[in-house]
Chains A and B, each alone.
Chain A
């Protein structure tokens, strides 16, 4: 299936929508309204020729009316009937579990298993078959393993919300605990060790295909509230990205996702999943109901027209899982996302593979501004009874917004991978060179070629081009800095390829004790003493807290160094150094390994 843009459209009949209950006050009226909203969503989809996945909620399984609706739509329109682990709260749930918790990954493992059995059992009782798809905002590896063991019919699950972590928490006045940064933005097969990490092969395949909750803007959500910029029409209204009743941004977002096919073997994907609380009659914040309804209707019409034009293939979640296993399996995914909102001409390169997830910013000369070491395959148990009750983000080594990037106040350094170029005592950082890039696939690797940039270093002008290589199946990133021209023919510039990193999942610093920094055959135990060690060969940091060994190396004989941070700058830096003149290149590699 070449050039396939696949849509998973998911609706859930939620009788006590988490948002609406608080504002509308709950009760019978709310239940009726919720069912009406579900019916409206279904109608708009079907009128536009789209099939849906109906994810039954626990509460809806107690409504024969909704069960019959789902059966009828399944028969008439081919909608898949799946089972959501969202929408747990209802009278029956509250009486049985005596809690207000509603996020499946936050329950103790024992309760998670009990709830999963209860919900799946109730589903079977209603429909006489087991569901093939499930999901939540986040579905942890232990829950997936349990579901796969007990209910092997499940092929697909909504498993994370992309970059819904500290930013979403902050946006919700520090009261919305979906702390789950660090996963892939598009569907993947999760590893058995950690949901965020794509499986390498059959040995760590969790047996489901994971899909993200919504398809999100890969620039806007990196710095802003993830819930404003995704394939969720009412989220776009929430972000005030509209004027009057016009929101072309939503369609630009969908179209840019379609464009991903060019770089991923023709495959591109969208997920839309609007809970009924977003379409309630009282309106949602500033948006009146009429606008909420119109935006959903317009989105359905847009997808519907794409389908009519043969540009979209709508699938149920389990149908998609089968397609994904046949066509994508363990492949990496890459894209050069362009700003479609702020008018900045900024672009971010995103890459996700079983070894890593990373982001390079062309507005900072291709600096790496996010790095998640999937190679560590970090096992993190979550929920009540563990040390990660709510926090399920996959840790970063680099996150330039949470832990500063190039720019810091007054002192210290921030997390970023870039290079400096110096000549005659004048030094400049590539982070200050705004440029653009072209992404292409060749010989089993993604090649990101940046437009050359110019350094003015005193009397010398040097044109330098950066190229990054991401080989399929590799745990390394190759960086090439080409010195295209120097204004003084025999001059050599000193290029220092460096990575300043730490570890964490939030904006706040973590203890650095236990980290080992190794340059050549010399080792530093991290003690916040601001020391630097130089050697020849490879430089490495072993970060036991995230079971990761990260190293940089260039050619044999090149100088390398490690730099320890200090209390006001709790970072470490790895670097490799080379002098290069006109026509010469400096190749270096960043490598990620698991450290036990």
Chain B
């Protein structure tokens, strides 16, 4: 088996991202999957994208727009 390389985009490990670690993944051409050299995560591009979306769970206000006044921030309608 040849050495791993990078995929078409430079995906980070979604599992490590969720514990605040940015670590590039490598692509295993034989298994057609990305894998992390630090933790045990491995998965297809589709799985990476799905897990990246999952990582956003904590950003509950990510898509809100606020105005700021004396009483704090108010969501823009």
State whether B67 touches A225 (Cβ < 8 A).
no
| Residues 12 to 49 of chain B near chain A (Cβ within 8 Å) | 12, 17, 20-24, 38
Of the listed stretches A42-50, A315-323, A335-343, chain B binds: A335-343
Tell me if B10 counts as interface (CB < 8 A to partner A): yes
- Please name all residues of chain B whose beta carbon is closer than 8 Å to the beta carbon of A339 when the two chains form the complex: 61
State whether B58 touches A342 (Cβ < 8 A).
yes
- Please name all residues of chain B whose beta carbon is closer than 8 Å to the beta carbon of A343 when the two chains form the complex: 60-61, 64
- Please name all residues of chain B whose beta carbon is closer than 8 Å to the beta carbon of A167 when the two chains form the complex: 20
Instruction: Tell me, in angstroms, the Cα distance from A171 to B10 when the chains sit together.
Output: 16
Residue in contact with B73 in the complex, picked from A243, A249, A338, CB distance below 8 Å: A338
Tell me if A246 counts as interface (CB < 8 A to partner B): yes
Tell me if A507 counts as interface (CB < 8 A to partner B): no
Tell me if A347 counts as interface (CB < 8 A to partner B): yes
- Please name all residues of chain B whose beta carbon is closer than 8 Å to the beta carbon of A344 when the two chains form the complex: 60
Number of A-B residue pairs having CB atoms within 8 Å of each other in the complex: 89
- Please name all residues of chain B whose beta carbon is closer than 8 Å to the beta carbon of A173 when the two chains form the complex: 21-23, 38
Instruction: Tell me, in angstroms, the Cα distance from A285 to B8 when the chains sit together.
Output: 10
State whether A248 touches B72 (Cβ < 8 A).
no
Nearest chain B residue, comparing its CB with the CB of A223: B20
State whether A240 touches B56 (Cβ < 8 A).
yes
Instruction: Tell me, in angstroms, the Cα distance from A225 to B22 when the chains sit together.
Output: 10
Instruction: Tell me, in angstroms, the Cα distance from A86 to B65 when the chains sit together.
Output: 35
Instruction: Tell me, in angstroms, the Cα distance from A225 to B18 when the chains sit together.
Output: 11
State whether A288 touches B9 (Cβ < 8 A).
yes
State whether A347 touches B23 (Cβ < 8 A).
no
State whether B72 touches A243 (Cβ < 8 A).
no
Tell me if B55 counts as interface (CB < 8 A to partner A): yes
Tell me if A488 counts as interface (CB < 8 A to partner B): no
- Please name all residues of chain A whose beta carbon is closer than 8 Å to the beta carbon of B60 when the two chains form the complex: 341-344
Tell me if B2 counts as interface (CB < 8 A to partner A): no
State whether A283 touches B10 (Cβ < 8 A).
yes
Instruction: Tell me, in angstroms, the Cα distance from A249 to B12 when the chains sit together.
Output: 22
Nearest chain B residue, comparing its CB with the CB of A23: B10
State whether B20 touches A340 (Cβ < 8 A).
no
Nearest chain A residue, comparing its CB with the CB of B61: A343
- Please name all residues of chain B whose beta carbon is closer than 8 Å to the beta carbon of A171 when the two chains form the complex: 20-22
- Please name all residues of chain A whose beta carbon is closer than 8 Å to the beta carbon of B17 when the two chains form the complex: 240
Tell me if B1 counts as interface (CB < 8 A to partner A): no
Instruction: Tell me, in angstroms, the Cα distance from A517 to B58 when the chains sit together.
Output: 42
Task: Return the 7 tightest CB-CB contacts between A and B, nearest first.
Answer: A343-B60, A259-B68, A343-B61, A248-B65, A252-B66, A338-B73, A173-B23
Cβ contacts A to B, 9 pairs, < 8 Å = A240-B56, A256-B66, A284-B10, A286-B12, A340-B61, A341-B59, A341-B60, A342-B58, A343-B60
Which residues from chain B sit less than 8 Å from chain A, CB to CB?
9-12, 17, 20-24, 38, 52, 55-56, 58-68, 70, 72-73
Known pairs A225-B22, A240-B56, A262-B70 / 11 extra A-B pairs, C-beta < 8 Å: A167-B20, A170-B20, A240-B17, A240-B52, A241-B62, A246-B63, A252-B61, A283-B10, A339-B61, A340-B61, A341-B61
